[in-house]
Each structure stands twice: as C-alpha cells, then as structure tokens.
Amino acid sequence: MDASARLSAWLKDHPQTISKVVDIDTDTDRLLKLELTSANKELSIDILDNTDRFCAWVNQKLADNNCRYGIGGYMELRTIYDNRTQFDTTGEERRNLHLGVDIWGDAGTPVYAPLAGTIHSFQDNDNFGDYGPTIILTHNLDGLTLYSLYGHLSRTNLVGLTVGQRIESGQQIANLGEVHENGNWPPHLHFQLMLDMEGKAGDYFGACKKSEKDKYLQNIPDPDILLRFSNGIILTTLSS
C-alpha cells in the first residue's frame, strides 16, 4: 500500500482525531467555489493586476452568494499566476497548477490544526505573490508522516513559535493575514498536504508545472481528505 492509500485508510479509521481548519457551521454555511482559471471571464487582467480590485471582486462574490468562505484550487490550472514573477521559470513552462486548497475569507479569520502534531518549520515568505507568513506542521500517524502547510497568515502568528513545539488537534495556530502581509493577495488560507518535504523548511511549492502533475500527485494528497468540505457541506457555484 502506497503512502496516499495508507493516509486514506488511517484517517478513515481515526475520524475522531480530525478537527476543523476554519470555523464552519454545517447547518448554515455554504462554500462558494471560486474558479481562478481562464474559464472565468470575469477575472480580467485589470482585476488581477490590482490587489484592491481583486479583493473587491472576491468580497462581492461572497456577499452576492451569502457565503462566509470561498473555496477551491486543488490541481486547478490558474492563469491568475501570470502576473506573479515567482511562478515564472524564465521562459520555460510556468508553474500554474495549484497544489493546495484556498479558503477565502476575512482577514483575522482563525485557523486551526486539523490533526495533532509539531511545528516542522515557519517562515515569512515576504515576496509579492508569495505565501507571506507560513507555518508547516508535522503529523505522525502511527508511523506515517504527513506535513500540513498554512500560508498567507498574519505576521503576529510567527512570534514565539519554536521548531518541535507541540500542537493539538483543534488548536488555533494562526489567522488569515491582511493584504499588506500575506503576499498581496485577497485574504485567504492556502492549505496544503505533503507526504515528503524534500528537505525544504518554511516553504514548499504551492504550484507546479502542468507537465509535472503526475509527479506531484504522488506527494500532494487532496486536502479535502482532512477538510471534508465535500462531505455534508453544500458547495455552491459562482453566480454570474
């Protein structure tokens, strides 16, 4: 059994160990699927090139659809990265296949650890379009190692952290950061799972080349295996 299958089996056998990542009321909350591909004709270059306009677009869509959170992104091919230089590979194929799930919401929204673990690493990836403040946790699941990454946080969330620090399931670990500190994005959480950190610390690719999809599928499980948004929470599509 490969690592992804072992992970699925372990989580299925230990549902009581899984906690929330953000506050969700399953009776009242709906999640708005925000598509950030070329198929979304509303997202013009004028919007994507202006963070204030991009924020206004996200906020308006959430308000129009009466949703507290937007959601989406796992293995989504995103044209949104075309104006973000860190996704450029100097004339080669761009890194625009998104590897995590984004949860769009208000700055300050609490973020929680869905599994018990320890702090693997943390770092302020302070570049335009980057993660901004980032925390990575290590989870030992009866011998299977899983890593979870939380990007676009508040800088205050990094104060007082230490590598190896114990984190409990359901413990608040962060908040969604403001635009000026989160890599110049509308406030959201980039949540990603990795089976192997490949020697990295404080950072891991949040997007890869489309041609590398099969490779990264082996290391990057679908975060919904922990989020469980598709199980019991109504997903609503973007209104026109």
Q: Which domains does the chain have, with CATH numbers?
A: 3-14+29-237 (2.70.70.10)
Q: Give pLDDT, residue 20.
A: 96
176-97-54-194 Cα dihedral, nearest 10 degrees: 0
Nearest to residue 153, comparing CAs of 204, 208, 112?
A: 112
Tell me the three state secondary structure of residue 11: helix
More confident: 101 or 93: 101
Give yes or no for a contact between 215 and 194, defined as CB atoms under 8 angstroms apart.
no
Task: Indicate the pLDDT class of residue 48, thresholds 50, 70 and 90.
Answer: confident
How is residue 103 written in tokens? 């949860």
Enclosing H/E stretch for 172: strand 172-175
Of 28-37, 85-94, 130-139, least confident by mean pLDDT is 85-94
